[in-house]
Structure 1
Amino acid sequence: MAILFSSIFFYLWGAGQSFSLSKFMGNLEPVKGGLNFWALFAIYFPSVTGFIAGINMSGDLEKPGESMTKGTLYSLFVATLVYFAQIIVFGGGFERQILIDTPFKVMVDNAFLGAGFMVVAGVFAATLSSALGRFVGAPRVLQAIARDEILPFLKPFSKGYGPTDEPRAGLYLCVISTVIMFLIGGNGSGGEFLNSVASIMGMFFLYTFGLLNMAAFIELYSANPSFRPKYKFFHWSVALLGVILSFGAAILIDAKSAIVAFLLLCFLIWYLRRRDMKISFGDARRGYLYTKIRKSLFDLQFMPEDTRNWRPSIMVLSGNPNTRETLVSYAAWLNANKGIVVLANILVGSQVKFVAQRESAIRQMYNFLLEKDIKAFPHVVVADSIFSGIKILLRGSAYSPLRPNILACGWKGPVNGFQEYMSMLKEATILNISQVLISDKGHPIKAGAKRIDLWWRGRKNGPLMLLLAHLLVHNWEWAGDRIFVKRVIENEAGKEPALKALQALIADARVDATAEIVVSNSPFVEILHSNSKDADCVFLGFELPDESNCEKWYNAYESMLKDMPTTILVHSTDSKDYLANGG
């Protein structure tokens, strides 16, 4: 280091003896037909990246958090000062052509006190220090990447030797690759090959620094409380500027190479995302997404709801989803990837005793969702009873911006426990959560086009039913299937006006459906069975009964659902017209 600084002093002081403002101004203009700024920058840039040597060897530092910060800033300051001094002093000390033809000879011949040998010694010192920095740092970086198992084929480079864990395999690779570069470059002329190598190195450094700045920007912008840099005056805007400058410089140096490097980087990211990696250093994207979601939730909280931007948010009482696959499938289909589906499982027991069971149930639900490729969120609660668990689920999320607006569950079988079932539906109604009860008769098994029958019995439940049927056919499993909107009237004279009114309603809603009028005085259960028994899915509306009529209400719907295909019972608690603003 003493030789290096002495050399800098000798050649700068010697060149300064010949400095004149006229020479400096004469050399200020660029050479016609010469290299442009960015070509020179590509060659020059790698020479100022020596400050990362300390970062590469951070594992060997006693206090890396403190030493790396100070060392990086100090080295940047010193390097910038020396390079600027060299450019200004030599630019004003000698004629342009001399600097172009014999740059090194000028430094040696004009050294202070004629000590040209000090310049030669300084070149050797700088070369050795830079090379040693790379030879010591690069193998350790390679070793760290190999140990993180980011790229499996690098595993042989993870082994260390001796008390200081020396990465010998990485060192051998660096030596061999360097010798190969020298052999290739030595057979050329004019240094074009080495200039190209320097340009490629500069591209790698620029992308490395750009990604480092991007990571810092994401951490800071997402307000990650775990990201606490030692440098107190750091701001996310500085990191963002670093990203823009790094990637911008890469494009300006060589747009084609920059694009190729960017595509390779995208491929590497894609490859790493496909691998199931357990990492200890975290993922900055999670913090960034959390911040974005948090802000969006607060914005959404104060925005009034409107029918045009309505989205299904379905709470499914699925229990173990493996035993209620039809229920879960229909809930996902009715959502059609337009909203949110939450699968809820209630474990009856003590919170303390059911910790392990709850974790197991969550894993089971995750595995089910992955296996069936269903986009949903699992939610498991432990409660004293099923009904108290349902109340926890509904009340706990009733005031969130993403609160459920539809409760989906299976149609209750035998009357045993029916009062709690009705209490659950009334609880949802009080919380303004519509209900969808699915009578599970399995998935449709008919090949080809399927038929969906929707029985229109007024605007109380009809608009929500029609919208859900419209969402159902937006799934690939139901694509191209036909929706038939059916209405019952008692006399033939009213058939034509009723048909036109129903067709106008469908047209205004801009839903692809066919209107049908059924003229009959028979009980509705008979009409339903004779017209929809062969359908693949049926939509029916329902209203909750009074306390005194619960059993009668249940028996009526039980007789309707007997020998029918999968039927979706819909009760809308919202006064909104879901068919408004259909376009």
Structure 2
Amino acid sequence: MFLRMGFIVGQAGMLESLAMLVLAYAIIGFTVLSICAISTNGAIEGGGAYFMISRALGPEFGGSIGLMFFLANVASTALYIFGLVEAMLSFFGPEGQLVPNIFEHGKWWSYLYGSIILLVCLIVCVVGADIYAKTTFLIFVVVMVCIASIFISLHLKKNYYSLYHPVTIFLSLQFPCKTKYSSTYAHFTIDYTTSVPQNFIKVFAVLFNGCTGIMAGANMSGDLKNPSRSIPVGTISACIITFLVYMALIILISATTPRILLFCNYSFLLTINLWSPFVAIGVFASSLSAALSCLIGASRILYALARDDLFGMWGVTTSSGNPIVAVLFSWFLVQMTLFIGQVNTIAPIVTIFFLISYAATDLACLALEWASAPNFRPTFKLFTWHTCVLGFISCVVMMFLVQALYTSISVVVLIVLLIIIHYRVPTSSWGYISQALIFHQVRKYMLMLDVRKEHVKFWRPQILLMIKNPRTSCQLIRFINSIKKSGLYVLGNVTIGSLAEMSSDQLSPQYNHWLNLVDEIGVKAFVELTLSKSVREGTEHLLRISGLGGMKPNTLVLGFHD
């Protein structure tokens, strides 16, 4: 906000900047509703978005999306450190606006400054996230004071730019070419820091990065006393406050500052402030806090992945429960990312990673809603499947608009991760949303299958094959499978006895072995087992009660007596 709001208004103008802001918050607003719904549906453990997605969509989707979200936090940490270094050089560099010639300017100097800042963040993370959690309110107060100083300065300070007045906004809207306040409409030009021509999408990518902190509370779910309440209240409150602050800044900056200044000086807020160090303090506090939040979030996500045996090598913790190995690995990746060296270069990458995570969160909430899962009973009711669909579609569309190439690569990587995790991770005990969705759809279509509308033209064999000894009947099972012509195929077995005479049900342990047999032989068949006084009586029972609705056996097959 301190470093890029002038850039956004200068390039896009007031009207398109406000349109970008509304679009960005519409996208994250739908996702916020999904986050609130999932976070109020029972207990939330550490891992934030990864925990919510994995428990809804299963380990394959959860692990792949969780890893992408981990990379998003890593890249976002580097982004905030880039911004902090850029501000340091602007305030205290060779042409520093506060105190010049304290820091040297250059690519490797910037990398050194970024590495030192990252080392400070690492020390805080190693000592423990409790220190950061205890200072967040103080950081919040400092940042709000700095923001208030900007608003007061724009209202009160008469400088060589202009003085804010409501008439200024009216004139700039009605006669943008006849006043010196010409920041109403867009005028995209070259970014002086990267020499890259700008457009709506590139500027939107920069703006969107200022709105991607909605997962910060969810990422620290393991450190919250009552995450089911804290996450919705904190996330919604943060979105409303930041939206109002951004909107007010866009209007005031557009009405008071010449566009030429916005083009060539990203630190113009320092010049117009009543006390210039306020802006520097706000930049340092907000950037350092955001970098710490993302680094802590990245380490917690990686630790949650390791704890679920998806990436087990990062699950080592200290005696206090701090995931030290995950912290060190996250720090190493951020250190490598610092080689990129520019805020506007890494901004689209961070945006795509976050949009993938947001789309997955919307998809998880949508799947739970569509499956009508009985365990999905969130106390947060301000969402529907429509908001989930809109959030998912808007995230996917914006990913391709921001950077189609990076998005395509990310999707390919996501699919590869999904396949790898599917084959290397053992079956989890979380449950699979795919099974709930399949049940919901099968039940719906089974009710639509009306036996009164059957016709001889579409008759097909629906076979009940009675099996005594599966070890000697494999060939018979395969033969009947080849003649069923896509019809119902049921393998039946009768055990002589009575449940009243048994201490426990002997059929339940056998059922899984029969299913394993079906998988091993490779046939598409159901299994039905029953207890009866005779084989004949048991066969009659199975013939009558097997199947459901319009899918019931119409053909009985018995093997030769051996």
| TM-score (norm. length: structure 2) | 0.67
Q: Assess, with a 3 A threshold, how the Cα gap between structure 1 residues 196 and 381 changes in structure 2: closer, same or farther.
A: farther
User: Where do 1:322-341 residues align within 5 Å?
Assistant: 322-336=471-485, 338-341=486-489
Q: Assess, with a 3 A threshold, how the Cα gap between structure 1 residues 390 and 77 changes in structure 2: closer, same or farther.
A: same
Is residue 125 of structure 1 aligned with residue 273 of structure 2? Answer: no
The offset of 1:75, in angstroms, is: 1.5
Aligned sequence identity (%) = 27
Equivalent-residue separation in structure 2 for 1:275 and 1:379 (angstroms): 32
Q: What is the CA deviation profile of residues 113-167 of structure 1, one whole-angstrom value per residue up to 9, with x for unaligned ones? A: x2111111011110111011112211011100111122xxx3221122122x111
Is residue 147 of structure 1 aligned with residue 147 of structure 2? Answer: no
Equivalent-residue separation in structure 2 for 1:243 and 1:159 (angstroms): 35
The offset of 1:229, in angstroms, is: 1.7
Hey, what does 1:12 align to over in structure 2?
Answer: 151
Equivalent-residue separation in structure 1 for 2:525 and 2:433 (angstroms): 24
User: Where do 1:150-165 residues align within 5 Å?
Assistant: 150=310, 154-163=311-320, 165=321
Aligned CA-pair RMSD? 2.1
Hey, what does 2:106 align to over in structure 1?
Answer: none
Hey, what does 1:482 align to over in structure 2?
Answer: none
Q: What is the CA deviation profile of residues 355-387 of structure 1, one whole-angstrom value per residue up to 9, with x for unaligned ones? A: 553133222212222222122122212223222
Q: Assess, with a 3 A threshold, how the Cα gap between structure 1 residues 393 and 131 changes in structure 2: closer, same or farther.
A: same
Hey, what does 2:213 align to over in structure 1?
Answer: 50
Equivalent-residue separation in structure 2 for 1:35 and 1:274 (angstroms): 43
The offset of 1:295, in angstroms, is: 0.9
What code does the residue aligned with 2:222 have? G
Report if aligned partners of 1:66, 1:230 keep a CA contact under 8 Å in 2: no
Pick the structure with greater CA Rg: 1
Equivalent-residue separation in structure 2 for 1:177 and 1:326 (angstroms): 56
- The secondary structure found in structure 1 opposite 2:506 is helix
Equivalent-residue separation in structure 2 for 1:262 and 1:332 (angstroms): 39
User: Where do 1:407-556 residues align within 5 Å?
Assistant: 407-412=556-561
Hey, what does 1:349 align to over in structure 2?
Answer: 497
- The secondary structure found in structure 1 opposite 2:527 is strand
Q: Assess, with a 3 A threshold, how the Cα gap between structure 1 residues 74 and 329 changes in structure 2: closer, same or farther.
A: same
Hey, what does 1:281 align to over in structure 2?
Answer: 430
What code does the residue aligned with 1:349 have? G
Report if aligned partners of 2:488, 2:552 keep a CA contact under 8 Å in 1: no
1:109 is aligned, of 263, 271, 289, to 271
Equivalent-residue separation in structure 2 for 1:398 and 1:378 (angstroms): 10
The offset of 1:389, in angstroms, is: 1.6
Hey, what does 1:61 align to over in structure 2?
Answer: 224
Unaligned runs of at least 5 residues, structure 2: 1-139, 157-162, 177-181, 190-196
| Structure with more of its chain in strand, by fraction | 1
Unaligned runs of at least 5 residues, structure 1: 186-190, 414-583
User: Where do 1:197-236 residues align within 5 Å?
Assistant: 197-236=346-385
What code does the residue aligned with 1:211 have? A
Is residue 173 of structure 1 aligned with residue 329 of structure 2? Answer: yes
Q: Assess, with a 3 A threshold, how the Cα gap between structure 1 residues 396 and 157 changes in structure 2: closer, same or farther.
A: same
The offset of 1:4, in angstroms, is: 0.3
| Structure with more of its chain in helix, by fraction | 2
Q: Assess, with a 3 A threshold, how the Cα gap between structure 1 residues 302 and 11 changes in structure 2: closer, same or farther.
A: farther
Q: Assess, with a 3 A threshold, how the Cα gap between structure 1 residues 181 and 256 changes in structure 2: closer, same or farther.
A: closer
Report if aligned partners of 1:23, 1:95 keep a CA contact under 8 Å in 2: no
Hey, what does 2:468 align to over in structure 1?
Answer: 319
Is residue 95 of structure 1 aligned with residue 258 of structure 2? Answer: yes
Hey, what does 1:72 align to over in structure 2?
Answer: 235
1:2 is aligned, of 137, 141, 164, to 141
Equivalent-residue separation in structure 1 for 2:275 and 2:186 (angstroms): 31
What code does the residue aligned with 1:121 have? I
Deviates more, 1:363-372 or 1:267-276: 267-276
Deviates more, 1:51-60 or 1:306-315: 306-315
| TM-score (norm. length: structure 1) | 0.65
The offset of 1:230, in angstroms, is: 2.5
- The secondary structure found in structure 2 opposite 1:48 is coil
Q: Assess, with a 3 A threshold, how the Cα gap between structure 1 residues 4 and 313 changes in structure 2: closer, same or farther.
A: same
Equivalent-residue separation in structure 1 for 2:457 and 2:144 (angstroms): 72
What code does the residue aligned with 1:205 have? F
Equivalent-residue separation in structure 1 for 2:415 and 2:555 (angstroms): 40
Q: What is the CA deviation profile of residues 482-512 of structure 1, one whole-angstrom value per residue up to 9, with x for unaligned ones? A: xxxxxxxxxxxxxxxxxxxxxxxxxxxxxxx
Bigger relative contact order, structure 1 or 2 (CA pairs below 8 A, ≥6 apart): 2
Q: Assess, with a 3 A threshold, how the Cα gap between structure 1 residues 399 and 110 changes in structure 2: closer, same or farther.
A: closer
User: Where do 1:381-400 residues align within 5 Å?
Assistant: 381-397=530-546, 400=549
